[in-house]
Amino acid sequence: MTDTIMTGPAGRLAIPRRYVPVAVTASLLIAMFVAGGIRYEGFASGQVILNVFVDNAFLLVVGVGMTFVILAGGIDLSVGAVVALSTMVTASLVTNQGWPAPVVIVLVLAIGAALGFGMGAIIHYFQVQPFIATLAGMFLARGLCYTIGTDSIPITDGIFTAFAQTRIDLGGEMWISPSVVIAAVVVLVAAYVLHHTRLGRTVYAVGGSEQSALLMGLPVGRTKIAVYTISGLCSALGGILLSFYMLSGYGLHAVGMELDAIAAVVIGGTLLTGGSGYLFGTVLGILVLGLTQTIISFEGTLSSWWTKIFIGLLLFAFILLQRLIGVRRT
């Protein structure tokens, strides 16, 4: 089986197979934007795309962690619950206990990383299926939310409110929030780690074939623990960004976010069984999800549930695409 999906007139490489899902996602995103611009007045503006980033910065950070896990051949169902727990711990300590915001942020990041490390260690050392281990982590984190409180806790801290109200002017009446900058930095750092470090190369190797990675002497166990730790850390950071966005902590925040993150990663072209995919694709997947919500909002006559229907159809289409072009683990 060749590595191309098409060739030029002289038989030159045109589109490597591994890039096809990302190219399809990018084409879909452009088509959605063009169609929205034709149908809706005021849709075809740069701020519409920027608003997608503003409204989904926390999901983008969570998606980065999920990309690491899925590339390594795993799955993490706990991310939404860890996000909710992060908002609850943040709101409780800042509002009810009066802790300084910087200290709370560091503590929340440490809690998220510790939860991810614990799940990764259980998966590796006890040979527990990732689905089961992270499902247990999901129940644990969501349950801990309700031991803190059952009601929404508002955040009135000056640092949080100032951060939430800050706009970074880009000129031409376009702007972004500081959360978008943080998410962009996370994406850039993660992309560097995946493509220019030993850890990143090992993640791809483990996702491609764990047995082959073991035979090559790669640190499979350490890598599996690392990706879940990264996912937990990203989920905690996503929870902090959601706290800035919502200015509250609530045990019902981020319900179903794990499914949105998985959908974004798969729509972005990452193979669900691991070993193939790109972080840039996840960014495109987040944009597709956000732009779908924006189009439904502009339409005005459709229920928000149509977002779920459209994303479900996209998932089926991209899974079939991955099978058809042969981008699968060998």
Domain ranges of the chain: 47-254
- The DSSP element (H or E) to which 140 belongs, if any, is helix 130-148
Q: For residue 119, list its beta bridge partners.
A: none
Q: How many CB atoms lie within 10 A of CB 147?
A: 9
State both tokens at 96: 């009810």
Strands (E), the chain: 4-7, 13-16, 153-154, 168-171, 174-176, 248-249
Report in angstroms the alpha-carbon separations of 1 from 4, 216, 272, 325, 330.
9, 24, 21, 10, 11
What confidence score (pLDDT) does residue 330 get? 46
For residue 4, what are the contacts with CB-CB under 8 A and spacing of at least 6?
A: 13, 14, 15, 16, 17
Residues of the chain predicted below pLDDT 70:
1-15, 325-330
**Whole-number Å distance between alpha carbons of 299 and 216:** 54
Mind listing the pLDDT tens digit for each residue in 233-283?
A: 999 999 999 999 999 999 999 999 999 999 999 999 998 889 989 999 999
**Whole-number Å distance between alpha carbons of 281 and 267:** 8
- Amino acid identity of residue 39, one-letter, is R
Choose among 162, 255, 98: nearest CA to 90: 98
Query: Is the four-CA dihedral 14, 18, 20, 22 of positive or negative sign?
Result: negative
For residue 269, what are the contacts with CB-CB under 8 A and spacing of at least 6?
A: 20, 21, 22, 24, 25, 277, 278, 281, 284, 285, 318, 322
Report in angstroms the alpha-carbon separations of 238 from 38, 78, 214, 230, 299.
34, 13, 33, 12, 29
Neighbouring C-alpha atoms within 13 Å toward the C-beta of 226: 17
The vertex-113 CA angle with 109 and 114, nearest 5°, equals 115
For residue 80, what are the contacts with CB-CB under 8 A and spacing of at least 6?
A: 62, 138, 254, 255, 256, 257, 258, 259, 261
DSSP state of 95: I
**Whole-number Å distance between alpha carbons of 272 and 144:** 29
What confidence score (pLDDT) does residue 5 get? 52
CB 143 within 8 A of CB 78: no
State both tokens at 197: 């470090």
What confidence score (pLDDT) does residue 328 get? 45
Report in angstroms the alpha-carbon separations of 309 from 53, 56, 299, 303, 306.
22, 19, 16, 10, 5
- Amino acid identity of residue 62, one-letter, is V
What confidence score (pLDDT) does residue 13 get? 46
For residue 109, what are the contacts with CB-CB under 8 A and spacing of at least 6?
A: 233, 236, 237, 240
Q: For residue 16, list its beta bridge partners.
A: 4
CB 233 within 8 A of CB 107: no
pTM: 0.92
